[in-house]
Amino acid sequence: MAHYFFSDVHLGYGERPADKVREKRLLQFLSSIQPSAESLFIVGDLFDYWFEYKTVIPKYHVRTLAKIAEFVDRGCAVHYCIGNHDFGHANYFHDEIGVIMHEDDFPITLDGKKFYISHGDGKAANDLGYRILKKILRSKLNLKIFTFLHPTIGIGVAAWSSRQSREYTGQKDYGPKDGMIEFAKQKIHEGYDYVVMGHRHKPLEITEGNGTYVNLGDWIHHCSYAVCEKGVLTLRKFEK
């Protein structure tokens, strides 16, 4: 049995035909690991945007929702660390599918190894503006107020916000240091064996002392993921 990690699929990004191809690729991957998965970690931005209402969720990607439910139903623990594009979750994934939701970073022990899991947004060294915006956007009060919008308008605004976030991230100069790497090294020095993040869309594996930092990359360009078997974490690419 093994533990699997992936992030940044961004279902809903771009034109619908290309989005369907990306979802099909993800479903092929999930089907391939399903027999051996003891736990599955979605490390943020599964969706390019997500916002749910009491009785309404986005209409696309039902096959992905059903596949995740299959993992849960067969006893696989599915963890979902919310990212900067899909933070509009309420209780649907937890109550209806059985996914363990994490609003922020979290530690976990797997096969005797200490893991620190984080989507990675807000870790850049000079990104104070985003960290402030993150607290505003994820405020429970603000999310509650947002639900008073009609779903067609609300989900449209969520999609627009996602595009703005991507443009902001793509244009911003974060300086010479990669704050995510520095943050990961700090966590390793605190005693973590593995630090796993996404967000940057660049698969990366760095050894620091007795620990390892893995960035999961994305499913727009790389189809990369990580697997932990018998306490050893490796970065891989899904060959479709």
What are 71-99's pLDDT values in tens digits?
Answer: 999 999 999 999 888 877 889 999 999 99
The burial class, CB within 10 Å (0-12 / 13-18 / 19+), for 10 is buried
Nearest to 27 by CA among 57, 77, 75, 66: 66
**Of 51-60, 66-75, 177-186, 231-240, where does the model show the most confidence?**
66-75
Contact yes or no for 88/49 (Cβ under 8 A): yes
**Segment 63-78 mean pLDDT:** 98
CA dist., res. 71 & res. 85, Å (int): 23
pLDDT for the residue numbered 123: 82
pLDDT higher than threshold 50 for residue 1:
yes
Confidence grade of residue 54 (pLDDT, cut at 50, 70, 90): confident
Pick the residue with more confidence: 64 or 160? 64
pLDDT at 53 over 50: yes
Q: Which two tokens stand for residue 234?
A: 């490796």
For residue 200, give the nearest of 24, 44, 25 by alpha carbon. 44
Statement: residue 130 has pLDDT above 80: no
Helix 62-73 × helix 16-33 angle, to 10°:
10
* Phi, psi angle pair for 73, to nearest 5°: -65, -30
pLDDT in tens, 144-185: 665 666 667 666 666 666 665 655 554 444 444 678 999 999
Task: Report domain 2-237's class.
Answer: alpha beta
Average pLDDT over the chain, rounded to an integer: 86
Name the token pair of 69: 């439910």
Q: 193: helix, coil or strand?
A: coil
Condensed to tens digits (0 to 9), the pLDDT of residues 92-125 reads: 999 999 999 999 999 999 999 999 999 998 886 6
Instruction: For the chain, give every domain's residue range.
Output: 2-237
CA–CA separation, 123 and 137 (whole Å): 17
pLDDT at 6 over 60: yes
Q: What would the mean pLDDT of 176-204 be, rounded to a whole number?
A: 91
Residues with Cβ < 8 Å from 92, sequence gap 6 or more? 52, 57
More confident residue, 54 or 221: 221
